[in-house]
Amino acid sequence: MLYREIRACAFAVALAIGLAGCGGGTSSNGGGGGGGPETAIRGRVTDAATGDGVAGATVAVAGRSVTSGADGSYTLTGATVGDSVLVRVSGGPTYMPGIQVVPVDAGETTEVNVALRAAEKVETIDTTAPNTVTGPRGSLVEIPAGAVVNASGTAVPSAVIRFGTLVTTDSNFAVAFPGQFMGKTSAGATPEPVLVHGLLSVDMTDAAGAPLKLAAGQTARIRFAVDPDPGGVLDHLALDDATGIWVREGTASRVAPGVYETQVSHFSGHGGGSFGGFGSILYNVKDIGGANVAGARILATSTGRMAWGRSDANGNFVYLYPLATTLGFGGRAWKGSLYVGRSYLFDGKINMVITDHSGPAGTMRFHVIGHYSEPLVGATVDVSTPEEPGAYVRKVTTDATGTATLTGIPNGVYLFAIVDYSDSYGSWRAGWGGWRRDDHTIQLNPPL
């Protein structure tokens, strides 16, 4: 049985469209310069477990940095950026660092919200002697005597070590995951999707907070948790802090149910995972006139995964997902400023759950919500094929919970049109006669 759930976030179809109600707060760092539209990155730093804002976190992009405000919000301007940027966040001694890689548009504002994991273990160690530091879920870091040095390579007598675990089944896995869900089978290989089952992030500093590292030629033994546990031997993946990509550095062996062990030559994020075994979803971005939108920035999220990307010349973005999992898929796309809209600006959300993609037909369930996340009652959901967009396969109206269910839909490519005839949104709807239409094309492809 193929099971899909679509969640659409209502937005104003007009010359100005924003993300109000879908984003975080702001604060200013006073940076940047004049002379034209300024490229800015703004968002909020939060605790991954509680959702509370993290005050005083350092957000760094391309050599510039800013400190988050009391509610965790920040705005960083003036950084020299390319097509994408790496955002690095440090929440201080009680949090593990966070890394995200996101596409940006010159002269526009990009929203980047970062969730930080609290350090589960913080301990000061005597580095002149061997140390074994244990943590939750069977995690462990074992460091030989005299193996820790400062940035210049000089041995130090003590160190503050902190580490935190993360496994796929954690409810905050996708938002707290450091870096991208992309990996390399070797340092020189082309990045490709990677499945990470669990990881251990390790950070080591001196008492003043200056970074420390393992001396050249030294290794440490680590153990980390995974869930679910695939058994056998996993690829040992290490996070490249400069790119946010995970690189295969060897293998990790199973030493207990859900616990794997490997040797490391540097401290960063380390985990166990695998390459291959992905299916794909094609997400198509269109403007209000039905034309494909190229170059739209897309944030795609699913159960335990998240990816940034851009739509291609045909408005398409391909999202890859692990085959052996239930997938809750959400997509948000936009082009132009998040807050100063253009006629072709697109902002919508889709949420899809797939439990089995092999059946000949299945059920589509749509949950339609408004601008402030309230359910839209009485909205009409149209489903058609792109080849015959006017020949609707099915129409159904949302119920009191904003849900519409269609059954007996064969596998294939469909255009989902969600139409809300309510005029409850007031003046911003009046110019369009009290209607709006969001079109999303989703294609469920066979496994790669």
| Residue pLDDT, tens place only, 393-448 | 778 888 888 777 777 766 555 666 666 544 333 222 222 222 333 444 444 333 33
User: What residue type is 411 in one-letter code?
Assistant: N
Residue of 348 and 282 predicted with greater confidence = 282
In the structure, what pLDDT confidence band is assigned to residue 271 with cuts at 50, 70 and 90? very high
> Half-sphere exposure (CA, 13 Å, Cβ side) for 211?
12
* SS3 category, 312: coil
Residues 6+ apart with CB under 8 A from 339: 18, 19, 20, 109
In angstroms, the CA 303 to CA 319 distance is 13
Tokens of 121: 């273990």
User: How far is CA 252 from each of CA 275, 391, 400, rounded to the nearest angstrom?
Assistant: 14, 53, 50
* SS3 category, 176: helix
The kind and range of the H/E element at 430 are helix 427-430
In angstroms, the CA 39 to CA 31 distance is 11
Helix %, strand %, coil % of the chain (to 5): 0, 50, 45
The runs of H, that is alpha helices, within 155-206 are 173-176
pLDDT at 374 over 90: no
* Domains, in order of start, for the chain: 2-16+277-444 (no CATH), 40-115 (2.60.40.1120), 121-275 (2.60.220.50)
Residue of 82 and 163 predicted with greater confidence = 163
Q: What is the pLDDT of residue 287?
A: 62
pLDDT at 96 over 70: yes
Q: What is the pLDDT of residue 372?
A: 55
In the structure, what pLDDT confidence band is assigned to residue 246 with cuts at 50, 70 and 90? very high
* SS3 category, 270: strand
In angstroms, the CA 321 to CA 328 distance is 10
For residue 174, the cross-strand partners are none
Q: What is the pLDDT of residue 307?
A: 76
Residues 6+ apart with CB under 8 A from 154: none
In the structure, what pLDDT confidence band is assigned to residue 351 with cuts at 50, 70 and 90? very low
Q: What is the pLDDT of residue 388?
A: 62
For residue 363, the cross-strand partners are 3
Q: Give the mean pLDDT of 66-93.
A: 88
Query: Across the beta sheet with 2-9, what order do the strands follow?
Result: 2-9, 361-369, 403-410
Q: Which of 8-12, 142-146, 300-304, 417-421 has the lowest mean pLDDT?
A: 8-12
pLDDT at 324 over 90: no
In the structure, what pLDDT confidence band is assigned to residue 384 with cuts at 50, 70 and 90? low
Q: Give the mean pLDDT of 134-158.
A: 97
Q: Give the mean pLDDT of 6-23.
A: 23
Whole-number mean pLDDT of the chain? 74
Q: Give the mean pLDDT of 63-91.
A: 88
- Report which DSSP code applies to 207: T
pLDDT at 169 over 70: yes
The answer, as to whether pTM is greater than 0.75, is: no
Q: Which of 72-81, 189-198, 320-329, 355-364 has the lowest mean pLDDT?
A: 355-364
Residue 115: which of 41, 182, 57, 202 has the closest Cα? 57
Task: Give the other-Cβ count within 10 Å of 432's Cβ.
Answer: 14
Residue of 6 and 372 predicted with greater confidence = 372
pLDDT at 9 over 70: no
Q: Highest-confidence range of 75-84, 287-296, 401-410, 411-420, by mean pLDDT? A: 75-84
Burial bucket for residue 85 (CB in 10 Å: 0-12, 13-18, 19+): buried
Q: What is the pLDDT of residue 146?
A: 97
In angstroms, the CA 375 to CA 241 distance is 41
